[in-house]
Amino acid sequence: MNTKFFSILITCLIVTSVFAQTSVNNYKYVIVPNKFDFLNKKDQYQINSLTEFLFKKHGFEALKEGSDYPKDLMINRCLALKTDVIKGSGMFKTKLTVELYDCNDKLVFTSSIGESREKEFKTAYNLALRDAFKSIEALNYKYVPNKNITSLTSTNSSQPNTAVTEEIQQLKKEIQNLKEEKQPEVAVVAKPQVETVQVATPQVNEVAVIQGNTNVLYAQAIDNGFQLVDSSPKVVYRIKNTNLKDVYIVEGKSAIIYKNNSDWVIEYYSGADLKQESLNIKF
């Protein structure tokens, strides 16, 4: 009976390993966050950098969150898995587990528990993480494109969002109208023979333009767009994708962000005035 149970258990483990390998192989990239929840600050003890290194060591194309993503990943975010490292409980051991999630936050793979008995945090985390990566190494990862992932996400990203399109067009129309209002009409005034008539210059509401913004905002991918964070890090804007290239809607504001040549610009209304502000965004 014990032999039969043991055989069934081994078979289940083999099937699970093959399934994980197949599903993980369907993803081209792995995105590593700048900070894991069990740490107090970004890349503490260089754990995030070590995670990126170990993924690359075992054949994955690993990218740090907020870095310059490849063009195909910008178009299709579901080509990437998001990784997380979970710290387990234990009095005398440091325990770490590596998890991989798809673009819909569905768990795709969980590594075995990596352990270390070292007391010093940096050494313990380093050894436990390397131990957890042994099960990832065993996957023998090799990217195999999956037509279902590629076609599904590409189709979704190419479908126009009618509401977003209408809002973009309305904003552009209002911007154009305001620009036209700025151009004063030239009136031809006949010069009287005796008395000179002074024509009052029409008052024009000038559009405030703020130039030279040197504060860098880092784009971090979220569902249907990005969040722009400063170096604090603090979320300054949340922007949504549109079907227009390099044009985004700012969440919670009557504003758009778009690319003008090599510069990023935000246009928004403050009362009746249209304002423009240049942004330094790193995607």
The dihedral sign for the CA sequence 16, 20, 23, 26:
negative
pLDDT tens column, 120-168: 999 999 999 999 999 999 999 999 988 777 654 444 444 444 555 566 6
Q: What pLDDT shows up at residue 8?
A: 43
| Helix, coil or strand: residue 274 | strand
Q: Which has more confidence, 167 or 190?
A: 167
Residues of the chain with CATH 3.40.50: 2-155
Peptide bond before 233: cis, by omega within 30 degrees of 0?
yes
CB 68 within 8 A of CB 15: no
13 class by beta-carbon count within 10 Å (0-12 exposed, 13-18 middle, 19+ buried): exposed
Residue 126, CA distances (Å) to 64, 109, 115, 131 in order: 18, 21, 10, 9
**2-155 belongs to which CATH class?**
alpha beta
Cβ-based neighbour number of residue 230 at 10 Å: 12
Whether this prediction's pTM lies above 0.85 is answered by: no
User: Residue 193's pLDDT is what?
Assistant: 58
- Pairing state between β 29-32 and 235-241: unpaired
Q: Rounded CA gap, 259 and 266, in Å?
A: 9
Mean pLDDT computed over every residue of the chain: 78
Give 230-268 as a DSSP string. -SS--EEEEEEE-SSTTEEEETTSSEEEEEETTEEEEEE
